Amino acid sequence: MNDPHVAALTYQVVESDSSEFQNPNDVEIDTDEFTGRLSKGILTLQPKDHFTTESEVRPMTDQLVQAWEIDAGLRYGRPDFQLRFAGSQIVDRNPNNNT
């Protein structure tokens, strides 16, 4: 890749044995660092800044995900779900440059 860019990171919702979400509404996310959407059990986060590798941005997304899980646990009294990392999408911002 000539100019790699992390376009998105995805996380899969893993429900606890005691919970099942029935057709939950989509959730839009907009923080200083990311935009994203939770839809149909998949959380997709797009970094607002440029990162060339997953390892550069993943600690930030993992921190956001962990905070979300903790918040949900505190609000509802138990952790009903976890978000498990599922992968990233890296694109070449300059695919035609042959240098």
* Stated pTM of the model: 0.84
pLDDT at 83 over 60: yes
- Is 96 among the domain residues? no
Output 75 or 90, whichever has higher pLDDT: 90
Enumerate residues 6+ apart whose C-beta is below 8 A from 67: none
Rounded CA-CA distance 22/41 in Å is 11
Q: What is the pLDDT of residue 89?
A: 96
Q: How far is CA 42 from the centre of its chain?
A: 8
The residue range of the domain holding 78 is 4-87
pLDDT in tens, 13-67: 887 665 556 667 898 999 999 999 999 989 999 999 999 999 999 999 999 999 9
Domain membership flag for residue 20: yes
Tell me, what's the pLDDT at 73?
Answer: 78
The answer to whether residue 99 sits within a structural domain is: no
Does any domain span residue 93? no
